[in-house]
Structure 1
Amino acid sequence: MTQLHIPARSSGEGRYDTVIDPGRREGWHHTGLRVLALGPGESEAYAADGVEVMVVPLSGGCQVTVEGTTHTLRGREHVFASATDVLYAPVGSHLEISSEHGGRFAVTAAVVEADAAGGHPVALIRAEDIPVEIRGGGNMTRKVRNFGAAGVFDACDSLIAVEVITPGGNWSSYPAHKHDTASESESALEEIYYYEIQPAPGGSAGFGYHQSTASDERPIDVLTEVRAGDTVLVPHGWHGPCAAAPGHDMYYLNVMAGPEAERAWKITDHPDQTWVRGTWADAGIDPRLEGEPR
């Protein structure tokens, strides 16, 4: 695979700022992401051919019509403000996404094999029903919105999706971990990281860092600066840490799927880093995330 760090808008098509479709990149098979930018009153059709999807408002609200029924997603001002309503649509659905006031909307996708399709219904997941997890401790504290996590939302076939908020100066996806081997203790999953970075008070752009390294003979070596709208693909290997520059909170949307029949998120920690989990309890929760909104 050639390009793993995809800068903002470098893969766009039409109203989509970002287009990552399974099967269109060498070595990329199971997951997809499209980031749709709509102006006031605009709409866009999407056919979920061979994939199941979740529509995740990044900024603004929208209406999603699926097979003649319209669902209203209340959305949010931006990804750092709160959780958001999310809509799941099964494989083969035809969607029309529209927005009265405009906004940006992520369409996450996972390939579903024909013999594995479960005939799941469309589901509207309300923001107030999304479990929020505070993970880590000290400057490794982050907040995870588990709207599409395995074990939380299971009325689907392959797709796993969550959001992570990392306060400025903190580290997340740490310890580095992997999920590229099918076993009793690990899942084989591709993963997409889609980033938003909170700007400075004066409006200047923020940044952070992402790292991926090889776990076996398959080469991967990514240490890259990420900015708002960037995407990093993780086909295999150790991934993490992700570091948020001081003063700039980091958001990433994770999209995962793989070839296994079991839909699960089972990981292996990097052996040199797993010890940090034992420091979290004494470090306590970063006070910036105590009592935070969803």
Structure 2
Amino acid sequence: MIIQGDSSPFPFGYTSIVKMNDDKTRKAGMNFGILVLKKGEVMNGSGEKSGKKERVCVLLSGEACFSWRDQSVNVGRTSIWTQKPWCLHVPSGESMSIRALSDRAEVAVLTAFNDRVFEPHFYGGGEVKSEERGKGILNDTSERIVRTIFDYKSAPHSNLVIGETITFPGRWSSYPPHSHMQPEIYHYRFTPDNGFGLAAVGEKAYKVYNNDTLVITDNMTHPQAAAPGYAMYYLWAIRHLPQEPYLEPKDDPSHTWMLEKDAKIWPNR
């Protein structure tokens, strides 16, 4: 399902978007929202009171000081399009804080049930894997950048997989169409910000805009497309299922022919 946002910037404070206790989004099994802080403003957190939940905080824009235990780091991000993310990941009950160092600091916040005890970790720089996918196939029509912040291999103690995708103008991503039984959230941004894209989920298609959020469940395929002239970003979060962690997507077999080495794509060039 699509949760339509306001294309204008998020207001200061916390905007809740996906909620575990909302019948419309409970299948996601995640809480997701956008936190916006003014310069000098601090968000303190020590875990949610309703159950044990791990917490992920991804800096989207601005400058901020992330603190946990006896550590703190000052980081900034001026562009989600050209710069890798910074991300703090903490277990249930772990105290942490975020203080804005710029006039406006915007952070995506995700939580999911997890009673495991693990060391907090701050991801960034070379630790975030960035790949160009789709280059050299399908006349580059599905070329995109995929940044994996952490996954089951790098963080088996987590119940989440977190990353970002940059879809170039007029191109496709999450393509060829794939699916996985684990639920997923996509949160969109566009440049220019009046842009749009298309999200197909199973047999339904949605027109997506800046600040929209998509909840994907029930093992549905979910290919994406950016309109020509507009680049599309989405933050993605996948929740592992009990005894069924997300390891890799399952391509729709009716479309895997295009990945063959000598696949004939029209026009033939």
Identify whether the pair has TM-score above 0.5, normalized to the shorter chain: yes
The answer for unaligned runs of 5 or more in structure 1 is: 181-188, 214-220, 284-294
Aligned length: 254
1:270 and 1:241 map into 2 onto residues whose CA distance is 10
Secondary structure, in 3 states, of the residue corresponding to 1:238? coil
Q: Does residue 35 of structure 2 align to residue 46 of structure 1?
A: no
Matched, 1:8 2:5: yes
Please report how far the alpha carbon of residue 175 of structure 1 lies from its aligned counterpart in structure 2 after TM superposition: 1.4
Q: For residues 119-150 of structure 1, what are the alpha-carbon distances to aligned partners after superposition, in whole Å with 9 as ceiling and x for unaligned?
A: 11111122232111111130101111111122
Show the counterpart of 2:217: 235
Q: 1:237-262 CA distances to partner (integer Å, 9 max, x unpaired)?
A: 32322001111111111101132235
Q: How does 1:175-186 map to 2 (within 5 A)?
A: 175-180=176-181
Whether the 8 Å contact between 1:9 and 1:17 is mirrored in structure 2 is no
- The letter of the residue matching 1:208 is G
Contact 2:91-2:118 at 8 Å conserved across structures: yes
* Structure 1: distance between partners of 2:242 and 2:122: 26
Aligned mates of 2:234, 2:28 — CA distance in 1: 21
Letter in 2 for 1:8: G
- Aligned residue number for residue 170 of structure 2: 169
Q: Distance in 2 between matches of 1:123 and 1:281?
A: 43
Separation of aligned partners in 1, 2:223 and 2:243: 29
Cα deviation for residue 236 of structure 1 reads 1.7
Q: Using a 3 Å threshold, how does the CA distance of structure 1 residues 121 and 280 change in structure 2: closer, same or farther?
A: farther
In the alignment, which of 269, 279, 294 is matched to residue 251 of structure 2?
A: 269
Q: 1:171 to 1:242 in 2, by over 3 A?
A: same
Say whether the 8 Å CA contact 1:192–1:232 is kept in structure 2: yes
Structure 2 residues without counterparts, runs of 5 or longer: none
**In the alignment, structure 1 residue 149 sits paired with structure 2 residue 151:** yes
Residue identity opposite 1:164 in structure 2: T
CA RMSD of aligned residues (A): 2.5
| Letter matched to residue 38 of structure 2 | G
Q: What letter matches 1:28 in structure 2? A: K
Stretches of 4+ moved more than 4 A in 1? Answer: 279-283
1:75-114 pair list within 5 angstroms: 75-101=76-102, 102-112=104-114, 114=115
Give secondary structure in 1 for the equivalent of 2:253: coil
2:20 corresponds to: 22
Q: Do structure 1's residue 249 and structure 2's residue 249 form an aligned pair?
A: no
Equivalent position amino acid for 2:173 in 1:
S
Partner Cα separation in structure 2 for residue 210 and residue 129 of structure 1: 29
Number of the residue aligned with 1:198: 191
Does 2:124 correspond to 1:134?
no
* Residues 58, 75 of structure 1: 8 Å contact kept: no
Residue 35 of structure 1 is matched in structure 2 by: 34
Offset from partner CA, 1:60-109 (integer Å, 9 cap, x none): 12122334x34225131121021022111112223322111122111122
The match for 1:58 is 60
SS of the counterpart of 2:81? coil
Contact 1:162 1:255 survives alignment (8 Å):
yes
Structure 2 residue 203 is the aligned partner of structure 1 residue 210: no
Structure 1 residue 29, shift from structure 2 partner: 4.9
Instruction: Report the 3-state secondary structure (helix = DSSP H, G, I; strand = E; otherwise coil) of the residue aligned with 1:33.
Output: strand
Percent identity, aligned pairs only, is 26
Contact 1:86 1:126 in 2 (8 A): yes
1:158 paired with 2:164, answer: no
